[in-house]
């Protein structure tokens, strides 16, 4: 499932569990290009809005029995495709080449020693420029129609282009800042190869989102808890733009805010035209905290009283159907390893 109901031009990033996958997404967003990260084993339908696909790195070695084996039959040769690190190795090994353990493992800095400057992907990627490597395997051989487009001293196949297709593999990580021309490489892929029009701007996001919220919420009432922080404030303004006074905001004074914060923030919310109710619940919080010295129990008491106050206030909004929340993308991205299991538990080999 994609995040937006109305599809828009995007790059699909298939995640194999690399620590850098989110960085690829952020670099693309910086190019005003929308993208989504999906686990390699849950490839969404390839619709016409998908302009290209990027395969991430991975803590796995392609030589492992348990290594991911994505089904690229709907993608490779049909859409522009860029494999990074593991992604590049997978496409080398799986289509007739060979991946073997490196004699010299490459972690960290390396410099390009050869660049095919006639290749579209390598425009403005300078010979000798620094690239960031993180791999214990190396591509030992590739089929004949794979053309080498860059190399380092130690790695001949640092980048290849499969002739006759818009398919590329890059051994280093263009998404990290330490790859000095990496942003150019990604831009070449997204703009010149995938032909994305770079129209994903804050303004475009607001238009799309407000239209979708209108469609989804109709005449329903929504309740949203404001904290004074960035996420809940921006979420509130977006919802307000879509449904106006059907958005009922609740801002609780727990008696533990900064000096004058409650009044100041409440006034600034009202100035933005938000339908916001300030609830003074100081005494309830102080009472629940009375004599409590244990940090964990203090936190729990504050959380409990907040839920009670918020519940009570929510009930006063008749026929409310929705609860608005300021959840952001890093909380949403589905992990390759399933929820609650961090990649940090794995040895990062790519």
Residues 53-82 that bind another protein (CB under 8 A): none
Residue with tokens 């690239």: 131
Which residue in 49, 183, 255, 278 binds another protein (CB under 8 A)? 255
Residues 34-53 that bind another protein (CB under 8 A): 34, 36
Please name which of 325, 327, 319, 323 lies closest in space to residue 219, comparing C-alpha atoms.
319
Give me the catalytic one of 38, 173, 240, 248: 173
* Residue 315 touches another protein, criterion: CB under 8 A: yes
Residue closer to another protein (CB basis): 52 or 225: 225
Give, in order, the Cα–Cα distances in Å from 232 to each of 103, 226, 293. 51, 5, 30
Residues in the chain: 350
Residue closer to another protein (CB basis): 144 or 283: 283
* Residue 314 touches another protein, criterion: CB under 8 A: yes
Scanning 130-218, the segments in alpha helix (DSSP H) are 182-187, 202-217
Torsional sign, CA 211, 213, 218, 224: negative
Q: Do 63 and 349 form a contact (C-beta atoms < 8 A)?
A: no
Residues 212-251 that bind another protein (CB under 8 A): 213, 216-217, 222-223, 227-231, 233-235, 237-239, 241
Give me the catalytic one of 9, 166, 175, 313: 175
Compute the distance between CA of residue 242 and CA of residue 240 in angstroms, rounded to an integer. 5
* Residue 323 touches another protein, criterion: CB under 8 A: yes
* Residue 254 touches another protein, criterion: CB under 8 A: yes
CB of 272 to another protein, least distance (A): 7
Which residue in 203, 219, 340, 347 binds another protein (CB under 8 A)? 203
CB of 62 to another protein, least distance (A): 30
* Residue 196 touches another protein, criterion: CB under 8 A: no
Give the contacts of 287 (CB within 8 A, at least 6 positions apart): none
Residue closer to another protein (CB basis): 67 or 333: 333
| Residues that contact another protein, how many (by CB under 8 A) | 71
* Residue 292 touches another protein, criterion: CB under 8 A: yes
* 85 among known catalytic residues: yes
Give the contacts of 82 (CB within 8 A, at least 6 positions apart): 52, 53, 54, 55, 121, 167, 168, 169, 170, 189
Stretch that binds another protein, among 39-47, 159-167, 169-177, 266-274 (CB under 8 A): 266-274
Q: Do 189 and 124 form a contact (C-beta atoms < 8 A)?
A: no
Contacts of 291-298 with CB under 8 Å at 24 or more apart are none
* Residue 205 touches another protein, criterion: CB under 8 A: yes
Torsional sign, CA 39, 215, 320, 236: positive
The catalytic site residues sit at: 85, 173, 175
């Amino acid at each position: 499932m994609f995040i937006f109901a109305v599809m828009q031009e995007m790059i699909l990033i298939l995640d194999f569990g690399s620590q850098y996958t989110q960085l690829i997404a952020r670099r693309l967003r910086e190019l005003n290009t929308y993208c989504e990260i999906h686990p390699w084993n849950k490839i969404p339908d390839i619709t016409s809005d998908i302009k290209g696909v990027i395969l991430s790195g991975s803590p796995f070695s392609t030589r492992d029995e348990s290594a991911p084996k994505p089904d690229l039959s709907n993608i490779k040769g049909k859409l522009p495709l860029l494999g990074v690190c593991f992604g590049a190795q997978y496409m080398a090994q799986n289509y007739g080449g060979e991946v073997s353990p490196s004699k010299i493992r490459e972690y960290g800095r390396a410099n390009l020693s050869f660049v095919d400057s006639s290749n579209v992907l390598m425009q403005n990627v300078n010979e000798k420029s620094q690239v960031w490597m993180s791999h214990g395997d190396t591509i030992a051989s590739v089929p004949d129609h794979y053309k080498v487009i860059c190399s380092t001293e130690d790695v001949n196949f640092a980048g290849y282009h499969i002739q006759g297709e818009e398919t590329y593999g890059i051994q280093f990580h263009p998404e990290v800042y330490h790859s000095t021309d990496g942003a150019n490489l990604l831009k070449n892929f997204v703009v010149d190869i995938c032909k994305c029009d770079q129209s994903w701007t804050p303004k475009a996001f607001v238009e799309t989102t407000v239209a979708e919220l209108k469609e989804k919420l109709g005449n329903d009432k929504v309740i949203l808890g404001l904290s004074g922080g960035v996420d809940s404030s921006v979420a509130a303004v977006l919802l307000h733009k879509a449904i106006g006074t059907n958005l009922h905001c609740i801002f609780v004074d727990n008696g533990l805010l900064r000096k004058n914060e409650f009044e100041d923030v409440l006034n600034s919310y009202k100035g933005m035209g938000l339908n916001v109710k300030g609830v003074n619940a100081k005494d309830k919080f102080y009472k629940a905290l009375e004599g409590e010295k244990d940090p964990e129990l203090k936190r729990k008491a504050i959380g409990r009283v907040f839920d009670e106050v918020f519940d009570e206030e929510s009930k006063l909004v008749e026929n409310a159907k929705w609860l608005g929340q300021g959840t952001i993308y890093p909380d949403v991205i589905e992990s390759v390893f399933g929820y609650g299991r961090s990649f940090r538990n794995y040895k990062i080999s790519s």
